[in-house]
């Protein structure tokens, strides 16, 4: 059996753990979406000391770090605007009971089960992210996920799909903001952020042991 690799879920959820509405996100928060894109894509490795900082092939060329992978359910795939999928610069893996349909339409790898998708993550992938939706989060989180990047939307908004409250499960704790910054590798805003009258906060949760 191959060794388990770390799996990070990334999700934005309201105070009631609402995460979706009518096949899409319950809000449009461009700054929060940029956070999602930046975290899941990852950053180039820091320039090696002694190399010029800017303007050379080393900094303008291809990203120096491994390509990350995003694993998602078919409804989440459908919810991503067509012009943004497959999500660029990331391995996209989609779970669908009818993988052929997704693959034919999208030139993207599809798998009949979550386990198959994990097994399909390329060996050279960097970080692996579970990006939803409710079916996969709620099925996979307790067993397979060891870290959650949770954007807590500090509002109650109409939603029709919900995340189960993993924060109450044994072993989970909220990491400090410094731990979050260290893990992502850049300076994440701390405390409440407000966009379009919607307040939210970037959190990281980790499972110990």
Considering only residues 183 to 202 of the shown chain, the ones binding ligand FOL according to CB under 6 A are: none
- Which residues, including other chains, have CB under 8 Å from residue 105's CB and lie 6 or more apart? none
Give the residue with the Cβ less far from ligand FOL, 33 or 106.
Answer: 33
Cα–Cα dist 73/70, whole Å: 10
Burial label, 192 (beta-carbon count in 10 A; 0-12, 13-18, 19+): exposed
Angle at 74 between CA 199 and CA 157, to 5 degrees: 25
Q: Compare residues 7 and 10 and give the one whose CB is closer to ligand FOL.
A: 10
Nearer to ligand FOL, 36 or 172 (CB): 36
- Binder of ligand FOL out of 7, 11, 140, 204 (CB under 6 A): 11
Per CB under 6 A, 146 contacts ligand FOL: no
Whether 11 and 153 have beta carbons less than 8 Å apart is answered as no
Between β-strands 8-14 and 198-207, what pairing exists: parallel, antiparallel or unpaired? unpaired
Site for ligand FOL contains 141 (CB under 6 A): no
**87 near ligand FOL, rule: CB under 6 A:** yes
Number of residues that bind ligand FOL (CB under 6 A): 19
**151 lies in the site for ligand FOL, by CB under 6 A:** yes
For ligand FOL, give the closer residue by CB, 18 or 132. Answer: 132
Interface with ligand FOL, residue 4, by CB under 6 A: no
Q: 111 has which bridge partners?
A: 95
Considering only residues 8, 14, 25, 136, which one is a binding residue for ligand FOL as defined by CB under 6 A? 25
Contact status: 50 vs ligand FOL (CB under 6 A): no
Residue ranges that bind ligand FOL, judged by CB under 6 A: 10-12, 25, 32-34, 36-37, 76, 79-81, 84, 87-88, 131-132, 151
């Amino acid at each position: 059996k191959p060794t388990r690799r770390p799996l990070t879920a990334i999700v934005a959820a309201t105070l009631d753990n609402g995460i979706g509405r009518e096949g899409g996100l319950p809000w449009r928060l461009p700054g929060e979406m940029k956070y999602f894109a930046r975290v899941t894509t990852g950053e180039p490795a820091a320039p090696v000391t002694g190399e010029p900082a800017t303007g050379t092939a080393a900094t303008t060329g291809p990203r120096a770090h491994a390509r990350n992978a995003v694993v998602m359910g078919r409804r989440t795939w459908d919810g991503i605007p067509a012009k943004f999928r497959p999500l660029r610069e990331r391995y996209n893996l989609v779970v669908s009971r009818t993988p052929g349909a997704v693959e034919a339409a999208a030139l993207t790898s599809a798998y009949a089960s979550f386990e198959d998708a994990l097994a399909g993550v390329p060996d050279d992938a960097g970080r692996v992210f579970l990006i939803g939706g409710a079916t996969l989060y709620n099925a996979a989180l307790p067993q397979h996920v060891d870290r959650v990047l949770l954007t807590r939307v500090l509002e109650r908004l109409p939603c029709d799909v919900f995340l189960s409250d993993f924060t109450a499960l044994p072993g989970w704790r909220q990491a400090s903001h410094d731990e979050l910054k260290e893990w992502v590798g850049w300076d994440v805003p701390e405390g409440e952020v407000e966009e379009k009258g919607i307040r939210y906060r970037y959190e990281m949760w980790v499972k110990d042991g």
